[in-house]
Amino acid sequence: MDNGFLYGDGVYETMGGYDGVILDLDSHIKRLQKAAENLGIKIIWPIPKLKKLIKKTVDLNKAKFLRIRLTLSRGPNGVDFITCKNPTLVISCEKLKPEHEIYKKGVSVITIETKRTLPEAKTIGLMHMIMAYRAIKPKNIFEAIIIDKKDFIKEGMSTNIFMIKSGKIITPKTQILIGITRGRVIELAKKIGLKVVIKDFKIGELDHAEEIFITNQLKKVVPVVILNGKKVGTGKNKGKVGETTKKIMKVYEGFIIDYIKKLKYL
């Protein structure tokens, strides 16, 4: 049987598909390659062929908005976790409906002390995420944010986190997945003249943030208005979507529109 099924021995990437256009495909493939290399899993398909297979799968699943997932496992390999004789690749798509309310009203998140085994890679063994979501979803909490034993903020279960403080956008630096959307947001924020600081910070600093938002490719930029049961922000904006977050949401939406136009009509 496949080692991915038996042992969670594999890696994956999740991408967004918009009108048949795959967002940041090259960046996702590069990250998959790096993660696979860390685990000693081979990508035996030439990258141009892999791209064609992904595109063909997307074309077969005609939709405005798709979740596209690449799952790569070691394949049937017994208890040998060193070699990789016959890796398994699965390309799947799921049609999605955009969520509108989360961007208007914001979401609630909590912090949780846990640890990912290999945070720099998207591995398919996700028990920490499963247990966190089983705990928070019945309480209508959107995301759980990982903190380490020293109270440093790391990332969400499936998102990267940003806070805004003293006019600066701050996001954690170490022991995180380097999100593709995180990178785009940093790049776009700088382009519109916002100061971005990449550094580790503790929960105490997050508690006093003026604004908080989280990112991933399918959810895009999501404003956080409640942290651990308390409203985020100060004064009249407390518990509301902040102005800087709105700017980031707008510029990221513009980026997606431009990206689709550019690739769709090549």
pLDDT value, residue 237: 86
Q: What share of the chain is helix, strand, coil (3-state, %, to 5)?
A: 35, 30, 35
pTM of the full predicted structure? 0.95
What domains are there in the chain, each with its CATH number?
Answer: 3-95 (3.30.470.10), 101-256 (3.20.10.10)
pLDDT value, residue 262: 86
Pairwise CA distance, residues 211 & 224, whole Å: 7
pLDDT value, residue 71: 98
pLDDT value, residue 26: 96
Q: Which two tokens stand for residue 44?
A: 């035996």
Mean pLDDT, consecutive 10-residue stretches, the chain (266 aa), reads 94 95 96 96 96 96 93 94 94 93 97 90 91 91 96 97 96 96 98 97 96 97 98 92 97 96 72
pLDDT value, residue 151: 96
User: If 0-12 CB within 10 Å is exposed, 13-18 middle and 19+ buried, where does residue 166 land?
Assistant: exposed
Burial 197-221 (b: 16+ CB within 10 A, else e): eeebbebebbeebbbbbbbbbbbbb
